[in-house]
Structure 1
Amino acid sequence: MAQRFGGEFSPDGNKRPAAAPATALTPPLAGRARTSILMGLSALPVVTAFFQDGATSLAINILAAAVLFGGALVTREGLKAEAAWTARKIARRPAVPRKILGAVLTGAGVTLAAMTGFSGLFAGIVYGIVAAGLHLTAFGLDPMTDKGMEGVDTFQTDRVARSIEEAEKHLAAMQDAVLRARDREAESRVARVVARAREMFRAVEDDPRDLSAARKFLGVYLMGARDATAKFADLYAATRDPVVKTEYFALLDDLEKGMDAKRETLLITDRTDLDVEIEVLRDRLKRDGLPTGE
């Protein structure tokens, strides 16, 4: 569906500056086009099956197509997991190496497809190995190590991960609900709030000790914003009442200001902790008779 252009200089444009880009995944996802090509190629075994004799060949080719398509889907999920791992300063490696699994499935699919059209199982296995190798060359391996986890309390990081996962569900529900309002400006405002929220997520991920301070925003406030968005979308879609829209935008403004203030508080707390550590280190150097640069 076509969307009207909106911006700072449009007639109904928002005069507030746009939010800084969020670190969450945004399309286009790197490698997405290549996985789409793999999905398209999975149709070839089905097409060639009709030019071969026997029900067995038909069944094997259909199975090959399904395996190839599944490999492309798994690879795309692996790319998403890698992008999420890259975007975060502190991250665990993906629990399942999806890109490697996608390479295995691609090799298996090519093996099944080739063994019916060429010289049997051995030739199919060779083609499958080559296909798996080319897949790994094109997409690479999954992240195999944790990042930024040295000296980090794993219990705290697990709590943060669970809390942010729940908060992301609230944000996704907000973005889905506002679409029912069929209002471009409302969608833009929700997107800006989502960006602000994800900036705070990154601050909490950088220092898991901040989870308790940010818990209300991660849970209660975002849940309330989700419910308010759903009610606004339904009411505004039915009435197109500008007062309803104004009141909803005021709520989003308050939520956004609150998140900005909380994020600044978290950053100030981190700076205070750093200053304390620096002073303690300087005192120790002075006691040992070493220069401190003062």
Structure 2
Amino acid sequence: MAQRYGGRHSPDQSDTAPAPSPRGGYRGARRTRVGGRVNMLFLAPLPLAFRAFFGGPVEMALNLVALGILLLAAWLTREGLRAEEAYDARRIARRPAIPRKIFGAALTGTGLAVVAHAAGGGVAEPAIYAVAGAALHLLAFGPDPLRDKSAEGIDSFQSDRVARVVDRAEDYLRAMTQAIAATRDRDIEARLERFQVTVRDMLRT
């Protein structure tokens, strides 16, 4: 039976073993929902800025107000989707303190009602646009999470404590990212990225 001998000058098997690949920040990442549809919410009301200057002063004011309302609705929707993604990524999480997507839907309906009123609509047309706009917004993006999420066998008090710790840890990670980014040291940034992946894996389990 053949037997392998090793010595000082023999190749070491550990030297030829492939090193484990470092875990990058994209490991286990999901495709974000904050994309094209949300960007369209920012682009769609921009023609109101041009339309405002081709009418009387009242129509101009109404169009500019509608533009501001719709842009605010788009921003709230984007932030609501980001908060929902963070909520879905954790096993234990608190519901968002502010239902941003619901507020975004309400503001979308309000903005469309102002646009309809600026175009000379009476009472019925702005109301129809308001209801339709808010309903379509909720159908497209859904409502915000309205319940806290907890693991089985853990009471609400302990779940709330865990959720607060997770939120605080995320704040620390963001602060570390900003501090390291100022150094512009790629080696330190890579180490921080691997550290953040490990920490987030721990937070999600």
- TM-score between both structures, scaled by the size of structure 2: 0.79
Please tell me whether the aligned partners of residues 84 and 145 of structure 2 are also in contact (alpha carbons under 8 angstroms): yes
Instruction: Name the residue aligned to 2:34.
Output: 31
Instruction: Name the residue aligned to 1:19.
Output: 23
Instruction: Name the residue aligned to 1:108.
Output: 110
State the alpha-carbon separation in 2 of the partners of residues 47 and 20 from structure 1.
Answer: 45
- Cα deviation per residue 1:135-182 (whole Å; 9 max; x = unaligned)? 112111222333345542222222222222222222112211222222
- Secondary structure, aligned partner of 2:148: coil
- Secondary structure, aligned partner of 1:47: helix
State the alpha-carbon separation in 2 of the partners of residues 23 and 140 from structure 1.
Answer: 27
CA spacing shift, 1:86–1:150, aligned 2, 3 Å: same
Please tell me whether the aligned partners of residues 31 and 139 of structure 1 are also in contact (alpha carbons under 8 angstroms): no
CA spacing shift, 1:23–1:120, aligned 2, 3 Å: farther
Q: Does 1:81 align with 2:83?
A: yes
CA spacing shift, 1:121–1:50, aligned 2, 3 Å: farther
Counterpart among 135, 138, 143 of residue 145 in structure 2: 143
Q: Does 1:52 align with 2:55?
A: yes
- TM-score between both structures, scaled by the size of structure 1: 0.57
Instruction: Name the residue aligned to 1:40.
Output: 43
Q: Does 1:90 align with 2:92?
A: yes
**Structure with a larger share of its residues in helix:** 1
How far 1:27 moved relative to its partner?
A: 8.2
How far 1:29 moved relative to its partner?
A: 2.7
Letter of the structure 1 residue corresponding to residue 92 of structure 2: I
CA spacing shift, 1:89–1:27, aligned 2, 3 Å: closer
Gaps of at least 5 residues in structure 2 are 1-18
Identity, % of aligned positions: 40
Which aligned runs of 4 or more in structure 1 are off by greater than 4 angstroms? 20-24
Q: Does 1:196 align with 2:198?
A: yes
CA spacing shift, 1:92–1:170, aligned 2, 3 Å: closer
Letter of the structure 2 residue corresponding to residue 61 of structure 1: N
Give the alignment of 1:173-188 within 5 angstroms: 173-188=175-190
Instruction: Name the residue aligned to 1:155.
Output: 157
CA spacing shift, 1:161–1:90, aligned 2, 3 Å: closer
Please tell me whether the aligned partners of residues 91 and 149 of structure 1 are also in contact (alpha carbons under 8 angstroms): no
Instruction: Name the residue aligned to 2:135.
Output: 133
Letter of the structure 1 residue corresponding to residue 137 of structure 2: H
Letter of the structure 2 residue corresponding to residue 152 of structure 1: I
Instruction: Name the residue aligned to 1:167.
Output: 169
Give the alignment of 1:117-132 within 5 angstroms: 117-132=119-134
Gaps of at least 5 residues in structure 1 are 1-14, 204-294
Q: What is the root-mean-square deviation of aligned Cα atoms in Å?
A: 2.4
State the alpha-carbon separation in 2 of the partners of residues 90 and 23 from structure 1.
Answer: 21
Give the alignment of 1:210-249 within 5 angstroms: none
